[in-house]
Amino acid sequence: MKELIEKLYAKINRPINLMEVCGTHTVALFKHGIRGLLPDGLRLLSGPGCPVCVTSIKDVDKAIALAQRTDVILATYGDMMRVPGGKLSLSGAKAEGADIRIIYSPLDCLTMAKDNPSKKIVFFSAGFETTAPNAAATLVEADRQGVENFYVYSVHKVVPPALSALLQSDDVRIDGFLLPGHVSTIIGTRVYDFLAADYGKPCVVAGFGAQDILSAIVMLLRQMAEGRAAVEIQYTSVVTPEGNPKAAKFIEDCFEPCDSYWRGIGVIPGSGLCMRDSFRHRNAEAVLPVNVPDYPEPKGCMCGLVLRGVKTPNECRLFGTACTPERPVGACMVSTEGSCAAYYRFAPPA
């Protein structure tokens, strides 16, 4: 495989930047030592595919403000707990007395709501298209069961608009995309067709094993060597062009596209999932509005540049010194799928 990659790259004969969108791919690339197998001039850039990393400071602060209400129990996934807000993280707010609980499935919130009828259970629902169907199904189930004290604060985001925004920026050159496997099981691949048709960028949806990723890189290089751009599937055991229609229907029934702020990047039109008016009675933003001040990104943090593929984590002055997984300054150092955390684990600073 290494020899085939070198042969195809020699045909192209120019520097190439491929972006792995998914944080799980970033970890897998390090774990399998794939970067070390690639020829000089073929670079792999990490993208904005870590939902924890792109959750804004303001959204974290709103979740904290909700949790600090005496009538609220806030539930969220464990990897959100240490994401820095303006002054606190959810973990810090919990240490100060806020009732914040880690759940493994949104359905856990319904049991929590039944067990605590005097409390409002708010699910801080983050993630891409992979986790949105679970949140949507829980909304439907809450209505079916008549669980009245369950609410959702949605900060879900969708991937395709973010890729379009990256290609419209002037500060990074992306020659092709290693597209996310998990997200694509839900949304399929047709939603990415614009990347090839409008921008001329080769794309391949890849699995997560070493052979999967190497095969996907070969497929990308072959497209470039042949002078074509298409959206192809390497991860054929799971991903189809049409995706998962049932899961997509859950998302469509409960959420609608909206503009969304991506941490370190800015507002990307149509990149969020807001709750539809039919679920307004469960929309925490509508039922339990909170106001929080605006805080800037931490001084010196390059998380936004890392998420756009402009910088690698080890180019940040804070990396491995002021910012570590134990004391994260930026969100990219928090999640195991964050680029900075992956670099720290597998390519630590000298």
- The rounded percent of the chain whose pLDDT value lies above 90 is 88
d(CA 127, CA 311): 23
| Helical segments of 188-321, H only | 193-197, 210-225, 245-254, 284-287, 303-307
Of the residues 262, 278, 297, which one is the last residue of a structural domain? 297
Residue 172 lies in a domain: yes
- State whether 2 and 76 are in the same domain: yes
Q: Are residues 269 and 323 in the same domain?
A: no
Which two structure tokens, joined as six digits, stand for 169?
A: 């920026």
Could you tell me which of 52, 45, 41, 56 has the C-alpha nearest to residue 21?
45
- State whether 170 and 318 are in the same domain: no
Whether the CA torsion 92, 98, 101, 106 is positive or negative: it is negative
Whether residue 316 sits in one domain with residue 220:
no
Cα dihedral 77/79/85/90 (nearest 10): 50
At 9 the pLDDT is 86
User: Is 151 contained in some domain?
Assistant: yes
Q: How many domains does the chain have?
A: 2
| 278 lies in the same domain as 318 | no
The 3-class SS string of 7-60 reads HHHHHHCCCEEEEEEEHHHHHHHHHCCCHHHCCCCEEEEEEEECHHHHCCHHHH
Is residue 350 assigned to a domain?
A: no
150 and 277, same domain (yes or no): yes
CA-atom Rg of the chain in angstroms: 21
Same domain, 219 and 97: yes
Q: Let me know if residue 349 belongs to a domain.
A: no
Alpha helix segments (H runs only) across 146-296 = 159-168, 181-187, 193-197, 210-225, 245-254, 284-287
- Are 191 and 340 members of one domain? no
**Model confidence, pTM:** 0.93
Domain holding 65: CATH number?
3.40.50.11740
Same domain, 183 and 315: no
> Is residue 261 in a domain?
yes
Residues 310 and 275 in one domain: no
Residue 169 confidence (pLDDT): 87
Examine residue 154 and state whether it is found in any structural domain, yes or no: yes
Q: How far is 342 from 332, CA to CA, in rounded Å?
A: 9
Q: Are residues 44 and 165 in the same domain?
A: yes
Does 271 reside within a domain? yes
For residues 227-247, one letter each, b for 16 or more C-beta atoms within 10 angstroms of the residue's C-beta and e for the rest, the string is eebbbbbbbeeebbeebbeeb
- Residue 125: its H or E element: strand 120-125
Residues 187 and 319 in one domain: no
> pLDDT per position in the chain (350 positions), as tens?
888 999 898 999 899 999 999 999 999 999 999 988 999 999 999 999 899 999 999 999 999 999 999 999 999 999 999 999 999 999 999 999 999 999 999 999 999 999 999 999 999 999 999 999 999 999 999 999 999 999 999 999 999 999 999 999 888 789 999 999 999 999 999 999 999 999 999 999 999 999 999 999 999 999 999 999 999 999 999 999 999 999 999 999 999 999 999 987 899 999 999 999 999 999 999 999 999 999 998 999 999 999 999 999 999 999 999 999 999 999 999 988 899 999 999 887 75
Classify residue 333 as exposed, middle or buried by CB count within 10 Å of its CB (0-12, 13-18, 19+): buried
Q: How far apart are CA 323 and CA 261, in angstroms?
A: 23
Rounded alpha-carbon distances, angstroms, from residue 143 to 139, 149, 264, 280, 311? 6, 11, 36, 12, 45
Instruction: Give me the domain span that covers residue 71.
Output: 1-297
